[in-house]
Amino acid sequence: MKNLVLVGFMGTGKTAVGQRVAARLGLTFVDTDHLIEQRTGQSIAQIFETQGEPYFRKFERELVRELVARQGHVIATGGGIVLDPNNVRDFARTGVVICLWAEPAVIYERTRYAKHRPLLQETDPRRRIEELLHQRAPLYQAIALRVDTSYTTVEKNVEAVSALYRDQTASAHAGI
């Protein structure tokens, strides 16, 4: 079975949707941030603080290379995974890549009380979200399969992602 890879900005629902999609389709769920925390024994915030973002990105890149060798996984990624185009290219070789999207105001509401995202621990997180989204929008929009999670329920998003995955894997089997 092909992997199902969820990319998208922070707070777009990759983990919440990914876990449920995995359960529904009988696939194994993994989360790149979670794996990085397990392997380093540090939280993402600690890694950013002590080793810096470039170290984190290198770790992420190595993990992608490892995960693309697997099958039948739902992989929820960190929001910045698209910053290295090699990551998206590699994921697309062995998986269906789906981008979750959300409006900046919705992202702000979903992330405002969380403390675990170092990039949003700013005096003006709302503005930071807008800046980062603006910078990254072309990278997210370059992914053909997208689901806007702004104003729907998690269940609807699970339905939409599962349907996209099924369509893609069915057409691959039919040789379309």
In the list 44, 63, 107, 139, the residue contacting ligand S3P (rule: CB under 6 A) is 44
> Scanning residues 66 to 125, which ones bind ligand S3P (CB under 6 A)?
78-80, 117-119
Minimum CB separation of residue 78 from ligand S3P in Å reads 2
Closer residue to ligand S3P, CB minimum distance, 26 or 138: 138
Which residues sit opposite 72 in a β-bridge? none
Q: Check residue 147 for interaction with ligand S3P (CB under 6 A).
A: no
Minimum CB separation of residue 15 from ligand S3P in Å reads 6
Minimum CB separation of residue 154 from ligand S3P in Å reads 15
CA-to-CA separations, 107 to 6, 100, 112, 154, 169, in angstroms, rounded:
16, 12, 8, 14, 30
Question: Which three-class secondary structure state does DSSP give residue 99?
Answer: strand
Residues in CB range of 149: below 8 A, 6 or more apart:
12, 13, 17, 100, 101, 102, 106, 157
Closer residue to ligand S3P, CB minimum distance, 29 or 169: 29
Q: Which residue is nearest to ligand S3P (CB)?
A: 78
Question: Which three-class secondary structure state does DSSP give residue 8?
Answer: strand
Q: Check residue 33 for interaction with ligand S3P (CB under 6 A).
A: yes
The tally of CA atoms less than 13 A away on the side-chain side of residue 129 is 23
- The binding site for ligand S3P (CB under 6 A) comprises 10, 14, 33, 44, 78-80, 117-119
